[in-house]
Amino acid sequence: MRRSLEDSYRHKGLRKKLVDTVREKGIKDENVLEAINSVPRHFFLDSAFLDVAYVDKAFPIGEGQTISQPYTVAYQTELLQIQKNDKVLEIGTGSAYQAVVLAALGAKVFTIERQKKLFDENKLFAYLKQYPNIKFFTEMDSRAYPLMVLLIK
């Protein structure tokens, strides 16, 4: 996947418009809105989607998967009422956009991806290194199973 990792003033302006859109759709939690505003969604998409990355729409990321619609990410996140150091188990890492939004709110995120190719792409995605509060697992990773039992109890 070819990613654009430049976060220009244009991208920041488009993110602000996106935040306005999800706010108009009913998202009220200012912390969630700020997290959406702080995470460059275009980083999580192939550079071919650069011009539409901030449209409130899902887009393909490969392996038959999509990056979720920003409103969906905001809605799910708002429902969780995340507090700093909350632990979240995410099933289906995908592009890691949702995981980063949760991490930006201070959550400790444990995320599992079954698609090996997506898991491997995320391991190589340098931007994710700034979120040590996200732990990535693949379903083949035996380290994930004790974790799931621990979080479910």
What value does the CA radius of gyration of the chain take, rounded to a whole number of Å?
Answer: 15
For 27-61, letters b (16+ CB in 10 Å) and e give bebeebbebbbebbbbbbbbeebbeebbbeeebeb
Closest to 105 measured CA to CA, from 126, 123, 131: 131
| Residue 49 in tokens | 């989607």
Active-site residue identified among 4, 47, 68, 142: 68
Question: Active-site residue 68, yes or no?
Answer: yes
Closest to 94 measured CA to CA, from 32, 27, 24, 44: 44
- The dihedrals phi and psi of 66, each to the nearest 5 degrees, come to -130, 155
Catalytic residues: 68
